[in-house]
Amino acid sequence: MKRSRINEIIRQGDEFIRSFGYRLPPFADLTPADMKRRRPSLGGILSARLGWDITDYGQNRFDELGLFLFTARNGNPDDLKSGRGMLYAEKMMISRRDQLSPMHRHVVKAEDIINRGGGTLALRLYASARDLTIDRSTPVSVMTDGTERTLEAGGVLMLGAGESVTLLPGVWHEFWGEGDDVLIGEVSTVNDDLTDNVFEDPIARFSDVEEDEEPYRLLVSDYDNWLK
């Protein structure tokens, strides 16, 4: 993706989030220069990979295949072994109308996906087979706001504003906005985007960036290169 396109998406996304009365945490406003200057005090943000995350999954088709994410809080995966500490994470996401976030499952992460407003959030769901590949014949059951829902394999769950679904590890899912762009909340177990996403197709989790202009905000995938 071109950096100019990423900058545009961040500005549009921040405005979209604000239109629903939500505000991102103060570190969302840090410029690259701010982050370089304050690098010694930002260890918690950098180690937890908090911040902006714009991905086209390496396919250069963001409008069709992509996702806007902002990680607001995140614990340490090592704490999961002891069962004590900050064991949770929270994200805001935007799924644009008919923009697909591709089929994937998680190894460890359980997540609540919440429609915070806008259009309808559509999720196609599958259970895992014994070998953890997609089970294309067995119905899949999920909890939606405390109520169990069972769908046929590959069935599409439609969530209106305020509705949510709990996706446990191993539940295959892809999602998109129906009718309009959707503001999505995600509350989950500690998030590790480097190792915990298993995609159906061999695609990248993060985008390659073409630096055609200066970054407006750094992405979490920029931290290692820009803040050494």
Q: What is the pLDDT of residue 222?
A: 96
Pick the closest to residue 45 from 223, 226, 225 (CA basis).
223
Q: Cβ(71)–Cβ(49) under 8 Å?
A: yes
pLDDT, position 87: 96
- Measure the CA–CA gap between 189 and 90, rounded to whole angstroms: 9
Q: What is the pLDDT along the chain (228 residues), one digit of tens a residue?
A: 999 999 999 999 999 999 999 999 999 999 999 999 999 999 999 999 999 999 999 999 999 999 999 999 999 999 998 999 999 999 999 999 999 999 999 999 999 999 999 999 999 999 999 999 999 999 999 999 999 999 999 999 999 999 999 999 999 999 999 999 999 999 999 999 999 999 999 899 999 999 999 999 999 999 999 997
**The pLDDT value given to residue 228:** 77
Q: Which residues are CB-contacts of 33 (< 8 A; sequence separation ≥ 6)? A: none
Domains and CATH numbers, the chain: 3-226 (2.60.120.10)
Q: 184 vs 20, 95, 126, 137, 181, CA distance in Å?
A: 11, 7, 21, 29, 10
